Amino acid sequence: MNVEELKELHELDLNNKEHHEIKTWPLENITPQELLDKALEASKFAYVPHSHFHVGAALIFKDGEIIKGCNIENASFGLTICAERTAVANMISHGLKDKNPVAIAVVGSPEDTDDYLKVPCPPCGMCRQTLMEFAPDLLVVLASHEGPKVYKLKDLLPFSFNL
Ligand SMILES: [Zn+2]
């Protein structure tokens, strides 16, 4: 499968109605596209000598504060951490656990392309579960060829694990 076929598959999958793309956006001072742009800024700091796939995440709170994260790889591959979980670690370590983030934007792309804001980079399952722990009502903003799309984390991770 080549990159173009992969892009088409992603688009098809995200256009599936079962993913419940939502059309309402609760934040007044920033658009979904602007939040994606913040995630793009974060992706520039990605440490990706092994995959060369840069990912950035921008987590925004109701008051407009933004916490970012990028993916950080390791020669011992299992130690690699995704951008979304880096953003969560950043949030927790800054004492912002109870601040209730509203949305997270995620962008990703191989470093030899410029498709960050055209191809969706959905959070992996591990990141969805991590986000669910701290922000079950979170919105997830993803890039697409048609512009930003917004989803509910709950719809992307149905029947999540809980204690
Ligand atoms: Zn992940």
Which of 93, 146, 97 lies closest to 119, judged by CA?
146
Dihedral sign from CA coordinates of 26, 24, 19, 73: negative
Total structural domains within the chain:
1
Is 20 inside a domain boundary?
A: yes
**pLDDT score at 17:** 57
pLDDT of amino acid 118: 87
**Per-chain mean pLDDT for the chain:** 91
User: If you measure from the C-alpha of residue 139 to the centroid of ligand 1, how many angstroms do you get, rounded to a whole number?
Assistant: 16
pLDDT in tens, 34-82: 999 999 999 999 999 999 999 999 999 999 999 999 999 999 999 999 9
Rounded-to-integer distance, Cα 140 and Cα 124, Å: 12
Alpha-carbon torsion (51, 8, 119, 139), positive or negative: negative
What is the 100 CA–ligand 1 centroid distance (Å)? 20
pLDDT in tens, 109-136: 988 787 888 899 999 999 999 999 999 9
In a domain, 88, yes or no: yes
User: Is-catalytic flag, 133?
Assistant: no
What is the rounded CA–CA span in Å between residue 65 and residue 161? Answer: 28
Q: What is the CATH number of the domain that holds 26?
A: 3.40.140.10
d(CA 32, CA 110): 22
Q: Given this model, what pLDDT does residue 5 score?
A: 64
Catalytic residue among 84, 111, 133, 146: 84
Q: Tell me, what's the pLDDT at 137?
A: 96
Q: What is the pLDDT of residue 151?
A: 97
